[in-house]
Amino acid sequence: MHDFQYRGDELLCEEVPVRGIAETVGTPFYLYSLNTLESHFRAFQNAFSKVDHLICFSAKANSNIAILRIFVRMGGGVDVVSGGELFRSMKASASPDKIVYSGVGKREEEIEYALELPILMFNIESTQELILIDRIAGRMRTKAPIALRVNPDVDPKTHPYISTGLKKNKFGINLQKSLDDYRLANTLPNVKVIGVSCHIGSQLTEVRPFVEAVQRIKELVLKLRAEGMNIQYMDIGGGLGITYNQEEPPHPRDYARALMKELKEIDCTLILEPGRVIVGNAGVLVTKVLYTKEGDEKNFIVVDAAMNDLIRPSLYGSYQRVQPVHRSDRPEWTADVVGPICESSDFLAKDRKLPKAEQGDLLAVMSAGAYGFSMSSNYNSRPRVAEVLVDKDKVFVIRQREDYDDLIRGEIIPDFLK
């Protein structure tokens, strides 16, 4: 469920007509519904309410500090993968002791930053990283709380670019090898082994791969405990999918039920790192039609949003539903929705049947709340778009549209060129 529905022919976000926001904020812009964000987060909390758990929202899905703040206010933690995401979490007043830090390439200064706070747990992805974290923690006269991110080698059956739990992926430590690394960790003076973690991929639409991963990890937890390691946390990552088009992913309730069944005998605090399932369908990208072109083979709707604003269709060939902000009974035609960027891969939708578009029409690219703004760039020197949050009948700009000065911030013409 989400809060982008029509009243009559006008698309609303909660109680606010999208068209009115476009008139004041300009286009393109990302638009989020507070009610959808909160109810998705709550659905996750409720699904796991029977077990000791911590929901660490995955900041990479949407890292706007107002969005992070919403989940922090609801008791959530944050899953971060960089010093920048740690900084954002602090700006959203997250509790450091609810932050988990994953990522294959943590830098020294990022590790120091996390140790200073200090965070709940590092999810370590290699033996070298383990050794470095031990060394830095020693230098800082502290102990780093750690889990190893293990790679359980299960097929998440999702797009290859977003599957992470296979042997051929760069993520995590091979399950068999992880036992040796855990033994090593247990001998290091400046790390404290407290958990096990994994994340097998994103946009999963079945429960089965999650269950398989948890079964494999459960065995590891038992072995580690048998060797005297105090495993208190089991972090099973994120990855639950959403409906973009026809997908039928499990409800968080069913996902939770399946996982909790596997974890009955394991007395651990469960950590979850959902991203897309919380924010994906809580946001849309609103864009304006600049031109239409009728070609011999194809029709094109040229809009003012582009691949730099929403890269998922270009990068993964992913489907994003496109809906008119004002419904009409114009005849339908089939067209590609494309942006102004000078790349043939700059499209938001292909071969879509839509009411014939006209210049100035507004379109909503649906399910754009996850990996939308957070993956946007300034390619073609396009200022990044505004982000707007709606709470019932109230509208808040949560990120201003960038201007031309933002584009060149930090750039310097050396004296000799002047």
Catalytically annotated residues: 342
- The reply on whether position 102 binds ligand LLP by CB under 6 A is yes
- Give the number of residues written for the chain: 418
Min separation Cβ 198 and ligand LLP, Å: 9
| Binding to ligand LLP in span 11-70, by CB under 6 A | 58, 60-61
Burial track 396-413 (b if 16+ CB lie within 10 A, e otherwise): eebbebeeeeeeeeeeee
Among 237, 252, 313, 324, binds ligand LLP (CB under 6 A): 237
| Binding to ligand LLP in span 159-218, by CB under 6 A | 162, 199, 202-203
Provide the β-strand partners of residue 17. 12
Closer of 35 and 202 to ligand LLP (Cβ)? 202
The stretch near ligand LLP (CB under 6 A) out of 231-239, 254-262, 321-329, 404-412 is 231-239
Among 239, 283, 324, 369, binds ligand LLP (CB under 6 A): 239
Closer of 21 and 58 to ligand LLP (Cβ)? 58
Q: Is there a cis peptide before residue 249, judged by omega within 30 degrees of 0? A: no
CA distance 102 to 116: 17
Among 85, 134, 212, 273, binds ligand LLP (CB under 6 A): 273
- The reply on whether position 126 binds ligand LLP by CB under 6 A is no
- The reply on whether position 275 binds ligand LLP by CB under 6 A is yes
Q: How many C-beta neighbours within 10 Å does residue 135 have?
A: 15
User: Considering only CA atoms, which of 382, 328, 399, 347 is closest in space to residue 88?
Assistant: 399
Among 77, 152, 274, 283, binds ligand LLP (CB under 6 A): 274
Closer of 55 and 325 to ligand LLP (Cβ)? 55
Secondary structure of residue 363 in the 3-state scheme: strand
Q: Where are the beta strands (DSSP E) in 248-376?
A: 269-272, 283-294, 299-303, 322-324, 332-338, 347-355, 362-365
Q: How many C-beta neighbours within 10 Å does residue 87 have?
A: 14
Looking at residue 28, the DSSP 8-state letter turns out to be S
Residue 391 belongs to what H/E stretch? strand 386-391
Q: Are 308 and 378 in contact (CB under 8 A)?
A: yes
Cα 378 to Cα 84, 249, 309, 383: the distances in Å are 18, 33, 8, 6
| Binding to ligand LLP in span 296-315, by CB under 6 A | 312
- The reply on whether position 389 binds ligand LLP by CB under 6 A is no
Closer of 27 and 58 to ligand LLP (Cβ)? 58
The stretch near ligand LLP (CB under 6 A) out of 6-14, 17-25, 270-278, 341-349 is 270-278
Residues that bind ligand LLP (rule: CB under 6 A) add up to a total of 23
Closer of 54 and 240 to ligand LLP (Cβ)? 240
Among 79, 309, 346, 361, binds ligand LLP (CB under 6 A): 79
Min separation Cβ 304 and ligand LLP, Å: 21
Among 238, 252, 324, 369, binds ligand LLP (CB under 6 A): 238
Q: Are 350 and 301 in contact (CB under 8 A)?
A: no
| Binding to ligand LLP in span 333-372, by CB under 6 A | 370-371
Closer of 118 and 275 to ligand LLP (Cβ)? 275
Closer of 277 and 390 to ligand LLP (Cβ)? 277
The stretch near ligand LLP (CB under 6 A) out of 84-92, 252-260, 275-283, 394-402 is 275-283
Helix pair 127-139, 108-116: axis angle to 10 deg? 50
CA distance 330 to 289: 15
Q: Are 93 and 120 in contact (CB under 8 A)?
A: no
Tokens 């991929």 label which residue? 201
Residue 368 token pair: 């754009």
Name the site residues for ligand LLP (rule: CB under 6 A). 58, 60-61, 79, 102, 162, 199, 202-203, 237-240, 273-277, 312, 316, 370-371, 375
